[in-house]
Amino acid sequence: MECTVTWTGAAGTRSGMGLLAETGSGHVLAMDGAPDAARPENGGQNLAPRPMETVLAGTGGCTAYDVVLILRRGRHDVRGCSVRLTSERAETDPKVFTAIHMHFTVTGKGLSATAVERAIAMSHDKYCSASIMLAKTARITTSFDLVEVD
């Protein structure tokens, strides 16, 4: 796996903190920093997600992918899955994640809470490389809601 990240500055200038990532699979992701009122040249323009937000989003994508796949492989009728991640970070550099909570909303027909709980646990214990990696510095907790559809 590879990725190239290029500092773009702000709107073609060499100020600001705009970044453009091109993934090995050929996709592009924009990132930016938060504005810095005290030192505008060091801040971003809030035009895209922060790099650490993309880490959190990628972790959510990784685990949601796993949960859906595990439920499908178990022949469960899963119709939807979302995960809301909330996090805390260290106050000093490096400002690593210290706590992450993932709340899943899984929609399906005839899904059991046991099957959903098992899929989430399997993702976090065995398959989701992103959450397993972040668990080295962060306490990760999970919860879920199960929504029945016709």
pLDDT in tens, 53-85: 999 999 999 999 999 999 999 999 999 999 999
Check residue 12 and give its pLDDT: 56
The pTM for the full model equals 0.90
DSSP notation for 91-148: SSSS--EEEEEEEEEEEEES--HHHHHHHHHHIIIII-HHHHHHTTTSEEEEEEEEEE
Check residue 36 and give its pLDDT: 82
For the chain, list the domains and their CATH numbers: 3-42 (no CATH), 51-148 (3.30.300.20)
Low-confidence stretches of the chain (pLDDT < 50) are none
Check residue 122 and give its pLDDT: 98
Q: For the chain, report the end-to-end CA distance as a whole number of angstroms.
A: 41
- CA angle centred on 138, ends 134 and 139, rounded to 5°: 120
CA distance 52 to 16: 17
CA distance 78 to 148: 10
CA distance 7 to 15: 10
Check residue 14 and give its pLDDT: 62
**Residue 75 belongs to what H/E stretch?**
none
Reply yes or no: is the peptide bond before residue 94 cis, omega within 30 of 0: yes
Check residue 39 and give its pLDDT: 79
Q: Which amino acid is at 62?
A: C
